[in-house]
Amino acid sequence: MKITISNRCKEHMEAHKADFIVEWTSLMRRVKEILLQETIQEEFIVRELNMGKAIGYEKLIKTKETDTIVYAKRLNRELYTRFVKYKTAALTHTMVVILNQDRYNPHKYDLVTAYPGRIAYKEPEDLNILTKQELMGSLEFWQQHALIFDEANIDVTTIRASCPYRHLYTCLE
C-alpha cells in the first residue's frame, strides 16, 4: 500500500496543523502499518486509528444545551461549521484518516484528510451527502456535537449565532 499526499491535501491540512503534537506527516508510516494489517477492499477508507501514544488534541466534543454555540466557516472551507465556545481540547491517542483509492492503481491511496480524535459525520452542507438518510445522520450528529471554537482557524467575518442551514432540518420531520 502506498499513501500519497497531494499539494491540495497539504493546504487542507494546514487547518489541522496546530491540533497535532507530533508532525502529522511523520504519522503516515504508522497509519500504513496499521492499515496493512487489514484486508482493505473499499475505494474510500475512513478509519479511526489508535496510534499508541498521544498525537494531538481532539477538537470535536459533545455539546450541552447550556453551551455557547456559534457557526462560522473554517479557513479554506466553504461550509458552515458548528462551534462551541469556552471549551478546552483534550489529548488523544486516536487519529482519523480518510483515504481515496487511486483509480489506476488499487494499491495506491491519496490522503484526503487526517485529524486527531474521533470520526465525525459529514457536515450538513457537504455536497458529498448523497441520501436523505445520510443527511439526517449528519444533522442529528451536528445537533449534538461541535468543534471547539478557535478564532485562528476560522474566517471571523462569517461568525453567526443562528444556524445557517436550519432549513435542512425539515428532513428530520
Return the residue matching grid coordinates 504519522.
Answer: 27
Cell numbers found for residue 157: 467575518
Given this model, what pLDDT does residue 173 score? 64
| pLDDT tens profile 35-85 | 988 888 889 999 999 999 999 999 999 999 999 999 999 988 899 999 999
What is the per-residue pLDDT across 122-146, written as a single tens digit (0 to 9) for each? Answer: 999 999 999 999 999 999 999 999 9
Q: Would you say residue 152 has pLDDT above 70? A: yes
Let me know: does 47 contact 96? Beta carbons within 8 Å.
yes
Percentage of the chain modeled with pLDDT above 90: 72
pTM: 0.86
pLDDT of 58: 96
Q: Using one digit for the tens of pLDDT, what is the confidence trace for 80-123? A: 999 999 999 999 999 999 999 999 998 899 999 999 999 999 99
> Regarding beta strands 80-84 and 145-148, do their DSSP bridges make them parallel or antiparallel, or are they unpaired?
parallel
Give Cα 77 distance to the centre of its chain.
Answer: 12
Domain chopping of the chain, boundaries: 2-172
Average pLDDT rounded to a whole number, residues 155-172:
89
Segment 152-167 shows an average pLDDT of 93
